[in-house]
Amino acid sequence: MQYRSRFFTGLGIAFLVALLNGVSLTAFYPLFDALGDQGERFYIQLSKHERKLLQKAVLIHFYKVELPEQLTGQQLSDRDWKLYLIPEVPEKIREEQSKAVLDALKDPPASRFSAIDRFHLITVVKWKLKINESGYSPRMVIFTALTIVFPIYLLRLVFHLVSVRLIAGTGYMAIRDLRRDLYNRLHELPLNNFYKEKTGYLMSRIIHDVELVAAVISSNMRDAITNIFFILTHVLLLVYLNYKLLFISMLTVPIILSPVSLFSRKINKSTRRSQDLLAELSGVLQEDISGVRTVRSFAVEDWMTSKFRAKNERYTWRSFKELFYIRMGPNLVELMSSLVTIGIIALGAYFIDGVNFTGGEFFAFLLTLLFIIRPIIQLSGMFGKIAQAEAAGERIFELLDSKPDVVDPPAPRPLQKMTQGIEFRSVEFAYPGTDKKVLNGVSFSVKAGQTVALVGESGSGKSTMMDLMARFFDPTAGQILIDGVDIRESRIHDHRSRIGIVQQEVFLFHGTIRENITYGRPGYTVKDAERAARLASAHDFIERFPEGYETVVGERGVMLSGGQRQRISIARALLYNPEILILDEATSALDTESEQLVQKALDRLFRNRTTFVIAHRLSTIEKADLILVVSGGSIVDRGTHADLMQREGLYARLQQISREAMQDR
């Protein structure tokens, strides 16, 4: 455990807080007895058992100390003899006798008393005799008790705050680490997980589920530990005050806690369903916000509103049921506790005898019992929260325990600058969870610095080949080699750091143009961003904005046109300066003017690097060094543009279709 010392220090201090609270309650014991006492002096009562222990200690002391002194000539008077005889109940032990017998309690022999009796003598009995020796008036006893209680409560408060800082702080740091591990795991998940799961589901696990667990292992865990220590220490005090009454009280504990077991399963089931509905609600909301242009363009606001309302109503009802179950258990526990308290008060009338169990002891017992009932009620409420956290934890660890399909090798090879080229060798691939091959026996070689174009129908496997190149997935069979070394022998981060990708759907982050160009590299300056933007033919339109490079582009870059976003993406790739460049349909959605500007920027980007181009507009790849024609997951033809046109195969037909489409625009 990373924070073990901090946590156990907090536990020790929490136990000390519970002890201090118990000590403060013992001060109320003489206070309650002194209330209503009309005598000039206050004398606290000793029980029969305490008198028996005291008499035994006095006799041992007499034969060890007083009798030898008598034999040496120091005679005891009758009055002195009486001081060593402990009176029977209900007579109280007054000042003079208390002072005389206190010497007998300085060091009772361990061989003559059990450990419990000896401890009782030198603590409780000695404390009572000290009170009687003082000869205080009842009013003075009350003021003294209150004077003692105040600094104890103050000290308890200080230690309580320290324990909160240590225990709750440990919980929050653990949650911080859990959220960090979840985020790291998110980056290791296979890409098809993101295709299958809604964004709202993943966000719900990292945010809402973690918050439920956080509540339990931070503040709730601190409260539970404090409450358990309170119960343990205060039960010991109740044992001393009246173990018989305590035993009767403990028989009612199963009755008090019965509502907890009744509702815990319902809470667990309701929480799991509630979190699923919250994830669905988040998913609908995320889709609505991300696709707001589509929603409005199709005028389906009412339909989306009704969809959201239905999810919201289901989640609201489920949340209400969850909260009802959570609250109902503790409320029933509190009701049962109140009934038990009434019964204890009734039993108190039977046990109070003024000697073995005084009125002050009963009120101290009742006050201590009430102190215990509060932690019991809080602990009963914890069961509901634990059930919530258990359901959330299952969802969290389902994500944490998922195995990434792309992992680093045990002994990764250091990355070297590519000098020879790239080779696909008999590569096959099927997406996880399916048996259908997307790629089948793909083999080709590319020299360093060449430009390779991939053409073919939609779904033929072009993008999948590049996903394998970037190690978003690993081949089911075969190898991808760079300079003769399998890319799986390098660290994933090192391999991807040599690759730049410009996609058709450019993703810009909410921030400034400068931040998007220098994304992930805060060391770059505005001048670096400007130099890359000039090469990407983006500087002119950026300068036309009032705030220039500090212009905020909005969510996903909605403040920019498609061509502008694409040129920002190219500027980002130019600044990144990768060895290998992948362009996936980078110009297919642009108008003619934007395409010309982007193509000009791409020509600069192609220089001195190995480039893979996937394009529907075949006019953009005619200058490629090698064109691979892909169909049905296999390479059916390859060569230069001129070679492929002469063969009049699939490539020639695709070129004809592309030109006809351009003429129709």
CATH code of the domain containing 219: 1.20.1560.10
Domain end: 336, 367, 400, which one? 400
482 plus 592 within the same structural domain: yes
Instruction: Look up the domain containing 573 and give its range.
Output: 421-664
Alpha carbon distance 122, 108 (integer Å): 8
Q: What is the CATH number of the domain that holds 552?
A: 3.40.50.300
Report the side by side order of strands in the sheet with 626-631.
Answer: 499-503, 580-584, 610-614, 451-456, 626-631, 634-639
81's tokens: 């003899």
313's tokens: 């109503």
491 plus 446 within the same structural domain: yes
Mean pLDDT per 10-residue interval, the chain, length 665 residues: 75 82 70 69 78 80 58 51 71 77 72 78 79 79 78 84 81 80 77 66 74 74 77 78 77 69 68 73 70 62 78 79 72 72 74 69 75 73 71 77 81 86 91 83 90 86 88 90 90 86 78 84 80 82 87 79 81 83 68 62 72 73 85 88 82 73 56
Query: What pLDDT sits at residue 443?
Result: 92
Report the SS3 class of residue 229: helix
- On whether the CB atoms of residues 310 and 303 are closer than 8 A, the answer is no
In a domain, residue 290? The reply is yes
In a domain, residue 435? The reply is yes
230 plus 360 within the same structural domain: yes
In a domain, residue 358? The reply is yes
182 plus 320 within the same structural domain: yes
Exposed, middle or buried by CB within 10 Å (0-12, 13-18, 19+), for 151? exposed
Domain end: 336, 371, 400, which one? 400
Alpha carbon distance 314, 324 (integer Å): 15
Which residues lie closer than 8 Å to 107 by C-beta, 6 or more apart?
none
pTM (two decimals):
0.60
Query: What pLDDT sits at residue 384?
Result: 67
215 plus 164 within the same structural domain: yes
460's tokens: 């033929």
Which residues lie closer than 8 Å to 341 by C-beta, 6 or more apart?
366, 369, 370, 373
396 plus 444 within the same structural domain: no
425 plus 366 within the same structural domain: no
In which residue are the tokens 């990292």 written? Answer: 206
**Cross-strand pairs, 424:** 444, 480
Query: What pLDDT sits at residue 541?
Result: 86
In 448-564, DSSP assigns E strands to 451-456, 477-482, 485-486, 499-503
In a domain, residue 364? The reply is yes
In a domain, residue 73? The reply is no
Query: What pLDDT sits at residue 605?
Result: 65
CA atoms within a 13 Å half-sphere pointing along the CA-CB vector of 132: 22
In a domain, residue 446? The reply is yes
466 plus 526 within the same structural domain: yes
Which residues lie closer than 8 Å to 513 by C-beta, 6 or more apart?
529, 533, 542, 545, 548, 549, 550, 551, 553, 568
270 plus 300 within the same structural domain: yes
Domain end: 400, 431, 451, which one? 400
Query: What pLDDT sits at residue 79?
Result: 54
- On whether the CB atoms of residues 420 and 304 are closer than 8 A, the answer is no
Which residues lie closer than 8 Å to 422 by C-beta, 6 or more apart?
445, 446, 448, 469, 480, 481, 482, 580, 610
In a domain, residue 612? The reply is yes
In a domain, residue 623? The reply is yes
Tell me how many domains the chain contains. 2
615 plus 524 within the same structural domain: yes
For β-strands 626-631 and 451-456, DSSP reports them as parallel
149 plus 264 within the same structural domain: yes
Q: Which residues of 382-413 are buried (b: 16+ CB within 10 A; e: fewer)?
A: bbbbbbbbbbbbebbeebeeeeebeeeeeeee
CB atoms inside a 10 Å sphere around CB 307: 14
Residue whose C-alpha is closest to residue 99's, from 43, 164, 56 = 43
Query: What pLDDT sits at residue 73?
Result: 45
355 plus 456 within the same structural domain: no
